[in-house]
Amino acid sequence: MLEIILRRLWQSIIVLLAVSLLVFVMVYVSGDPVELLAPPDATEVEVAQLRKALGLDKPLHVQYLQFLKHALHGNLGYSYVNNAPAVELIFERMPATFELAMMATIIAVIFGIPFGIIAAVNPKKIYSKAIMIGSLFGISFPTFWVGVMLILIFAVTLGWLPSSGRGETVKVFGIPWSFLTWDGIKHLILPSVTLAGYHLALIVRLVRAGMMEVLLQDYIKFAKIKGVSKKKIIFVHALKNIMIPVITIIGLNFGGILAFAVVTETIFAWPGMGKLVIDSIHLLDRPVVVAYLMIVAVIFVIINLLVDIAYTFLDPRIRLK
Amino acid sequence: MKKLSVLLALFFAGTVAAKTLVVGLSSEPRSGDPFAFNETPTNSFNYNIYDALVMLDAHLKVKPGLATSWEVKDPRTIVFHLRKGVKFHDGTPFDAYDVKYTVDRAKNWEKSQFKVYFKPIKEVIIKDKYTVIFKLSRPAPVLIRDLRRLRIMSKESTEGKSPDYIAFHPMGTGPYKFKEWVKGDHITLVANKDYWGPKPYFDKVILRPLTNDAARTAALLSGAVDVIEDVPLTDAEKIAKNPKFSFFKTDGLRLIFVGVDVARDKIFKGKTPHGENPFKDVRVRKAFYYGIDVNGIIKYINRGYNSPASQYFPSTVFGYDPTIKRAPYDPEKAKELLKEAGYPNGFEVTLDAPNDRYINDEKVAAAIAADLAKIGIKVKVNAIPKAVFFPMVNSNKTSFFLLGWSCSSADGAAFFDNILHTRDKEKGYGRFNDAGYSNPTVDRLIEEQDTLMDQAKREKIMHKITRLTLKDMPYIPLYYYVNLFAAKKGIVFTPRADHVMYYRDFKEVK
């Protein structure tokens, strides 16, 4: 176990180096942040001063080496736009995104798995067909459209749920959380449902396909002949065998939701890190973009590790080596 | 029992009386430091917390702020008499030392984005606690207006504090006090009960950044916010017709215009019979003026909300010439002019435009291309992100471009200095003169009006500059931005051309 963790750590360092270099080059070719930051009234001398104050007057490789030097000291840079260290900005916003991603994943799992099973067990029934058609919509509708529609129906027309923001929060260990207050939960519903939609549909389809395949296998037939109850066959014998791909997808999707909840956060004015990073990309606020992508890379490494560990519980044949 | 009922009565009285205004902003302010970022959302926010020596009223005319009066002793000396008995939000008194301290910070702090406005101030002399004398390095006719941006900070409470601290602890003498900032979610302001001017109507103002257009509209329609700024053009008509909401509209300061390369001898991006630059000929420039259907663009792309521009700034800006009118769209005349210039079959040119800077920028560029196609010009639209666009056009790597400019001090000199004057790094002129226009007479007139204290004379020169350059026409004005606001019925305020929202001006009527 320790060995695999160390190996993952080593891999992640290489990933981080690659990510940071890529972002540096990409921001460099996508334009000049100083032109965006400097007010139009400023004279060229002042623009040059600003460029120097931000360290952007040096050649790219010098800037990158300087960044690496500071990164080794735990300093990933200072946002050009927000007057704060990039890492601090991201960690400040991370709980909001984490909360949203967690809620969306829970919704996707607690509805996705049962729906998938239902659709697999009685595929010819009308409700199974309804589930499958619904999942097709879930996969094909773009998130921004779903979000706007939900706002239109539940916030504007019916007035049941709020359309934006986090609502009332409660601080635990200095971090504000929405899911601890009723008002906060109301604010969480629409964005997390929007975010869950695609993943819910994906899980439904995955569970259904796996279940249908497994239900035809000999050991299931054998169990049936032996007189094992249908419930036990489905939830113990079959479900356990289809969970490996499902867990992989849940893990990957959780990372994906966490990292790229951008669209949903923008539509619902959810103050998470996705919104921060999209604003930073627009303004070419390189330190924030670099720090963000590096943190995301670390999150993905950790999630993959957790998924691998989960495998060993589900399938005793898999050992982490 | 009696005590309890009194307490209850007080409690309910308190809750009933607390009037709250929730505002949906289209972008989040970046800092509570008045000199860290010079951009409208940040400035608009800080104007509510800080006061300056002067203010601009709703018609952008100068009126007294923390200075009750001032005298121009000679072109290089201005004496300000300060308001007495004003206190900062933390209780420290306001006096001449704060003015001197603030000028110093605005001019000399390395990250200040306001250096350019206060450069003419050579020295601030404290004559007594309530009298300061500004010694200027040159006569500066726009300085009084620009002093509106000099939002006074408390020397006693701010000196020695780090910029990071100041950024999130804004503290001035203004009508609203800063209470809380949850980044990305909301900012809370509370009324300053000791404000020296008219007391604000709303006790509490909550600012919520709702950057997504649809989300901002939805928040207003669902009652989550009371007011929104920058009503999306696509939703404007629907909201304007809805009896549950009030709709506010005023011409903004920003001009959208196109420019052409008048400097090169060869065409840079395009194709002409002999590779020559067609824009060297003023008749081609005029043909573009007549050949672009500005009213059509306003009607079909911007839903009819903008006003066509006759010149470089709207009537709220000092220097505007009411006698200049925009000539009507006339494709026949345009074709005639092109024929005279030797292009009966037109030519090819690339129109560079940003696609994420101005409202509908890319669509407007496409419409210009379509209009010019009718007079035989083949225009290729190159719409790119602003981060690439600005470095490109500002180094003159363009033949034909779409640009916006706003004279944010409500004085036309900003357009003259930055766009019409020959590019001159040393003197700080022509940073956005992307056409490469250079006319010695115009340069001389611009420099003259920049140091002329007699505003009546100055206005005449400004009119002359506008007329001369519109005759040369390196830049073709198209239309002015429009500022659209919407609010729940009953909330009233005066929308401003400078797009600043002074929450003290907001009231609720039943």
What pLDDT sits at residue B241? 93
CATH number of this structure's domain A88-274? 1.10.3720.10
Which B residues in the span 288-347 are in contact with A, Cβ-Cβ below 8 Å?
Answer: none
Q: With beta carbons under 8 A apart, name residues in chain A contacting B30.
A: 81-83
Residue owning tokens 């005066």: B494
Cβ atoms of A207 and A120 within 8 Å: the answer is: yes
- Of residues B110, B219, B394, nearest to A164 (C-beta): B219
Q: CB B388 to CB A30 under 8 A? A: yes
The percent of residues in chain A predicted with pLDDT above 90, rounded, is 6
Spatial separation of the C-alpha atoms in residues A288 and A282, rounded to whole Å: 11
- Of residues A40, A44, A275, nearest to B425 (C-beta): A44
- Of residues A176, A269, A272, nearest to B215 (C-beta): A269
Which B residues in the span 56-115 are in contact with A, Cβ-Cβ below 8 Å?
Answer: 110-111, 113, 115
- Of residues B36, B209, B356, nearest to A269 (C-beta): B209
Spatial separation of the C-alpha atoms in residues B199 and A89, rounded to whole Å: 36
Spatial separation of the C-alpha atoms in residues B55 and A258, rounded to whole Å: 46
Sign of CA dihedral A20, A25, A30, A32: positive
Q: CB B215 to CB A164 under 8 A? A: yes
- Of residues A42, A82, A164, nearest to B30 (C-beta): A82
- Of residues B164, B208, B388, nearest to A31 (C-beta): B388
> How many CB pairs below 8 Å do chains A and B form together?
140
The structure's pTM equals 0.85
- Confirm or reject contact between B211 and chain A (CB < 8 A): yes
Q: CB A268 to CB B224 under 8 A? A: no
Quote ipTM for the complex.
0.78
Tell me, letter by letter, the H, E, C secondary structure of chain A.
CHHHHHHHHHHHHHHHHHHHHHHHHHHHHCCCHHHHHCCCCCCHHHHHHHHHHCCCCCCHHHHHHHHHHHHHCCCCCECCCCCCEHHHHHHHHHHHHHHHHHHHHHHHHHHHHHHHHHHHHCCCCHHHHHHHHHHHHHHHCCHHHHHHHHHHHHHHHCCCCCCCCCCCCEEECCEEECCCCHHHHHHHHHHHHHHHHHHHHHHHHHHHHHHHHHHCCHHHHHHHHHCCCHHHHHHHHHHHHHHHHHHHHHHHHHHHHHHCCHHHHHHCCCCCHHHHHHHHHHCCCHHHHHHHHHHHHHHHHHHHHHHHHHHHHHCCCCCCC
What pLDDT sits at residue B14? 46
Q: Name the residue type at position B370.
A: A
Q: CB A269 to CB B115 under 8 A? A: no
Task: Note the pLDDT tens digit of each residue in A60-92.
Answer: 888 888 888 888 887 888 888 877 888 888 888
- Of residues A33, A45, A166, nearest to B428 (C-beta): A45
CA B217 to chain centroid, in Å, comes to: 23
Q: With beta carbons under 8 A apart, name residues in chain A contacting B393.
A: none
Q: CB B431 to CB A279 under 8 A? A: no
Is the model's pLDDT at A56 over the cut of 70? yes
- Confirm or reject contact between B223 and chain A (CB < 8 A): yes
For chain B, residues with pLDDT lower than 50 are 1-2, 10, 13-15
What pLDDT sits at residue B133? 96
Sign of CA dihedral B349, B352, B355, B360: negative
Find the helix or strand (DSSP H, E) in which B181 lies. strand B176-182
Q: With beta carbons under 8 A apart, name residues in chain A contacting B418.
A: 40-41
What pLDDT sits at residue B182? 87
Give the distance from residue A269's alpha carbon to the nearest chain B alpha carbon, in angstroms: 6
- Confirm or reject contact between A167 and chain B (CB < 8 A): no
Alpha helices by DSSP H, A157-238: 182-215, 218-226, 230-232
Q: CB B113 to CB A43 under 8 A? A: no
Task: Note the pLDDT tens digit of each residue in A195-218.
Answer: 898 889 999 999 998 888 888 888
- Confirm or reject contact between B26 and chain A (CB < 8 A): no
Spatial separation of the C-alpha atoms in residues B369 and B382, rounded to whole Å: 11
Residue B108, classified by CB atoms within 10 Å of its CB into exposed (0-12), middle (13-18) or buried (19+), is exposed
Is the model's pLDDT at A137 over the cut of 80? yes
Residue of A nearest to B418 (CA): A41
Selected for mutation to probe chain B from A46, A56, A83 (highest B CB count within 10 Å) is A83
Residue of B nearest to A271 (CA): B184
Spatial separation of the C-alpha atoms in residues A147 and A191, rounded to whole Å: 7
Paired with B270 in beta bridges are B349
Residue of B nearest to A269 (CA): B210
Is the model's pLDDT at A38 over the cut of 90? no
Higher per-residue pLDDT: A8 or A284: A284
What pLDDT sits at residue B1? 47
Spatial separation of the C-alpha atoms in residues A210 and A241, rounded to whole Å: 8
How many Cα neighbours within 13 Å face the side chain of A22?
10
- Of residues A50, A156, A165, nearest to B186 (C-beta): A165
What pLDDT sits at residue A319? 64
Give the distance from residue B183's alpha carbon to the nearest chain A alpha carbon, in angstroms: 7
Which A residues in the span 181-200 are in contact with B, Cβ-Cβ below 8 Å?
Answer: none
Q: With beta carbons under 8 A apart, name residues in chain B contacting A89.
A: 183
Q: CB A83 to CB B432 under 8 A? A: no
Task: Note the pLDDT tens digit of each residue in A232-248.
Answer: 887 877 888 888 888 88
Task: Note the pLDDT tens digit of each residue in B245-271.
Answer: 999 999 999 999 999 999 999 999 999
Q: What value does the mean pLDDT take over residues A262-283?
A: 85
Which A residues in the span 264-283 are in contact with B, Cβ-Cβ below 8 Å?
Answer: 266-272, 275-276, 279, 282
- Confirm or reject contact between A93 and chain B (CB < 8 A): yes
What pLDDT sits at residue B366? 96
Give which of B254, B220, B207, B181 is closest to B406, Cα–Cα.
B254
Spatial separation of the C-alpha atoms in residues B322 and B343, rounded to whole Å: 34
